Amino acid sequence: MLEFNSIPLLTHPFYFVRHGESVSNLDKTVAGSLDVALTARGHEQAQATAAAIEHLGITAIYSSALSRARDTAGYISRVLALPVTVIPELGERNWGELEGQPLALRVRGLIPNGAETPDQFMRRVLRGLAKVDASDKPLIVAHSGVFRVLCRIFGIVESEAPVANAQPVRFVPAGEPNQPWRMETP
């Protein structure tokens, strides 16, 4: 298994943005690996985020292959005049038979038929993160599930670190050995 401490990106600060509001977010359904579109509000959020992070000195943009993340990254790409590198492994967790169903049906700890397990999902995300060039000052545009994986490997308690649609955050390595990473809002 790929260990997170062997991934160069995970030794450097980097930025993360969850995609703008999607149709599934609005409808309160499980999107998972379904390719759902941004809402009008999601497009507005992505445009506002692009303008808000223009000054951060980001040198590379990486995105999930799902259109809600790619479209969000596209707005940022145009403002920063940078190409988007698509990394399919940064897609949202596959929720199997629960995809497209009401979010209220999701039960914490229960793995629906056909879904990725949390460990399978984490291994896939780690493979994707290994493809990010650590010499860049990167931005990753992905999903709340990818955000939760990052929090898990960095020792950030998820309940203390929710991420809203199109909210940029910066993950920063700990200054001391054996200390958790921290998350900042730029």
pLDDT tens-digit map of 112-154: 999 999 999 999 999 999 999 988 899 999 999 999 999 988 8
Taking CA 179 as the corner, what is the angle to CA 149 and CA 141, rounded to the nearest 5 degrees?
A: 30
Contact (Cβ atoms closer than 8 angstroms) between residue 98 and residue 105: yes
pLDDT tens-digit map of 86-97: 999 999 999 999
How far apart are the C-alpha atoms of 61 and 82, rounded to whole Å?
A: 7
Query: What superfamily does domain 4-184 belong to in CATH?
Result: Phosphoglycerate mutase-like (3.40.50.1240)
| For the chain, domain boundaries | 4-184
How far apart are the C-alpha atoms of 23 and 124, rounded to whole Å?
A: 25
pTM of this structure: 0.94
CA 110, chain centre distance (Å): 22
